[in-house]
Structures are given as C-alpha cells and as structure tokens.
Amino acid sequence: MLNKKTLLSLFLGLMWHNATAAVWGFYAHQRINRLAVFSLPPEMLPFFKKNIDFLTENAVNPDKRRYAVPDEAPRHFIDIDAYGDSAKTALPLYWKPATEKYGTDSLALHGIVPWYIQTMKFRLTEAFKEKDARRILKLSADLGHYLADANVPLHTTRNYNGQFSGQYGIHAFWESRLPELFANDYDFFVGQAQYVNSTAQAAWQAVWNAHAALDSVLLFEKDLSLKMSEDKKFAYEDRNGVMIRTYSAEFARQYHLALANQVERQMRQSVKMVGSFWLTCWIDAGQPDLDSLMAFDFDKQDKKDDEAEKRTWLQRLFRVRAEE
Ligand SMILES: [Zn+2]
C-alpha cells in the first residue's frame, strides 16, 4: 500500500534520480536507438525494425541497472581529467594493458566507458554468430546506450554535474532538457551505417571529441549566467502536479543558441555510431541471415524478467533514499 511516507520517498527518490543521474536523458537515449535502426542495410533492417520498440524502450536499461548492479555505474563515463594533461597518450586503447597500468579499482573509480564498449562489441558479435535473437536485441539496446553516453561531454569529466564550478544541475540541463526542448528541429538524417575498422579507436575518438566539447558546455553556461539574473535564469514548472525549479525556457534557448548545434551534433554522432557498431558486429559475425529470426518473440518468461528488473530498480531506489 502507498502511504504518505512511501509517496514522499517515491517523490524524493525520483527527484534524487533526476538530479544525479549521469546519463543522456531517457528521451535522447530512446530516440538515438530508434533512429539508428533506419541506418541499417536491407539484410538487417527487417529484423531490427520488427523489434524497434524493444530497442527503443530498452535503450535506458543500463541506467536502470545502476541501482541494482554494483559494477554498472563506471560503464557510463570516463573522467578524462583524472588522468592529467597526458591523458591522451597515457590511456591505453585496450582494457588489458589499462588494468596492468592502473589496476581495476582505480579504473572503475574514474569510469570505463570506452573499454566497456569494446566488451559489448565483442558480446554482440558473438550473439550474432550464435544467431541468438534474444541476446542480439538485448545487447544491441545496451551497446546503443553506452555509445550514446560516450558522446556526452559531461560524461568525460569529474565535474560531471558542474559541482566543482558552481554550475550544479548542468548535466540534466544539457542532456535532458535541451534535447527535450529542441530535438524536434534537429536533422537526424545520418545516412547509412558504415563498417568500423577499429571499434576500439572509434570508441575512444567519441570520448576525445566529447571531451573537446566540454569547455564550451561549461563556459557558455557561465557566461550566460553572468548576463541573466537568477529569476530570469530559473523558472518553476509543473511536472505531474509538482512544482519544480528548472532552467527557464529563455535561458535554455540562449544557451542552446550559444552552443551552436552542439547537442544536435553529439546526438547525430551517437545515432551514426550506434547503427555502424550494430552493422560491424553483424559483419564480423559473418553476416548471419537474420530473416530466420523474424519469428522470434520475447516469451512470457522474458517479459516477467523485465518486470522483475523494473521492480528491483524501484525497490533499490527507495532503499538508497532511505539509507541517506
Ligand atoms: Zn548511461
């Protein structure tokens, strides 16, 4: 039964989640996976299109797992600035040499997204080889998520929510609110998916590009904040009957303008990468015939598992909140 206390903890839990979730917003993740489907070649398109709703809905699974799986959190980011000025030359392309150089604990602390993408690429290729429709779909959805995360500038820094620069809240502002407000005007035609020669290099390149964009993410917000008074910068909005303090529409508009298509660029890049990685796994698996998987449907047990996972996520959320 939902009593007042439970409702309060639900409310606080969701607020807490909104405030700290280090993720592209759910909206952007879902949109990215969905759009990536349309970049696939005719041999892959029917199977992926048939399951497009699954790939869309499950684009956010890895974020939900963060509360239930202790190892999950580091897979979504990498704090490039934790490695100093020589990060680019110091950080190994592959996981094994990285563990030998830094140790797994230290790596986990600063995030592992570019390496974890490689693990997921390997697993998805294996699933294609085995023609295991269930795994292909689950891993495709997950891989899409991590690739999109690797393209978010604030996923490449310790200052991921502006907490060290007096810009607390900038994370969700950039990756949730801006896409929600403006993505309908973005051009998402990214052309056909392309084979990726080195997925390791491509994963890292995404991280370096995102990290190079970080300066303007922080600087433009700061500049604009100096020009706009607090009462113009923030507004209160009704979200499901609750008034929430958020960046005002005008502040969002001006910030978005200053960023000059940056969010659009990063989202487009994500879409292109997701389609290209799916394609690459399929090709590396020997281009298995996916038409034979068209009859696949998630059975009742899968659906039950999904429900159970969602429940654990919520329970975990309450528990975390209660322990604080
Ligand atoms: Zn994430």
CA–centroid distance, 4 to ligand 1, in Å, is 31
Q: Tokens standing for 114? A: 């570019």
Give Cα 48 distance to the centre of its chain: 20
- pLDDT number for residue 304: 78
Residues 6+ apart with CB under 8 A from 21: 63, 171, 172
Output 310 or 15, whichever has higher pLDDT: 310
pLDDT in tens, 155-178: 999 999 999 999 999 999 999 999
pLDDT recorded at residue 299: 78
Q: Where are the beta strands (DSSP E) in the chain?
A: 234-239, 242-247
Where do runs of H (alpha helix) occur along 154-294? 170-172, 178-182, 199-212, 214-227, 230-233, 249-258, 262-284
Q: Which residue has the higher pLDDT, 15 or 57?
A: 57
Q: How far is the CA of 63 from the centre of ligand 1 (A)?
A: 5
Inform me whether the pLDDT recorded for 20 exceeds 70: no
CA of 143 to the centre of ligand 1 (A): 10
pLDDT digits (tens, 9 = 90+) for 227-262: 999 999 999 988 888 888 889 999 999 999 999 999
Q: What is the mean pLDDT of the chain?
A: 90
- Dump pLDDT digits (tens) for 32-49: 999 999 999 999 999 999
Output the CA 324–ligand 1 centroid distance in Å. Answer: 23
Query: 59 C-alpha to center of ligand 1: Å?
Result: 9
Q: Model-level pTM?
A: 0.87
CA distance to 175, 214, 228, 248, 251, per residue, from 178 (Å): 6, 16, 18, 11, 11
Query: Could you tell me the distance, in angstroms and rounded to a whole number, from the CA of residue 144 to the centre of ligand 1?
Result: 10
In this prediction, residue 240 carries a pLDDT of 84
How far apart are the C-alpha atoms of 235 and 251, rounded to whole Å? Answer: 10
The pLDDT of residue 3? 52
Give residue 318's pLDDT.
67
Distance from residue 126's CA to the centre of ligand 1 (Å): 23
Tell me the per-residue pLDDT of 263-300, one tens digit each, with 9 for 90 and over.
Answer: 999 999 999 999 999 999 999 999 999 999 999 998 76
Q: Which of 4-8, 69-73, 204-208, 265-269 has the lowest mean pLDDT?
A: 4-8
> Nearest 5°: phi and psi at 54?
-60, -45
Give residue-wise pLDDT tens across range 111-135: 999 999 999 999 999 999 999 999 9
Q: CATH for 4-323? A: 1.10.575.10
- Cβ-based neighbours of 114, under 8 Å, separated by 6 or more: 78, 150, 200, 203, 204, 206, 207
Q: Any idea which of 53-57, 176-180, 217-221, 312-316 has the lowest mean pLDDT?
A: 312-316
> Residue 39 is encoded by which pair of tokens?
């970049």
Residue 71 neighbours by CB under 8 Å, 6+ apart: 108
pLDDT at 228: 94
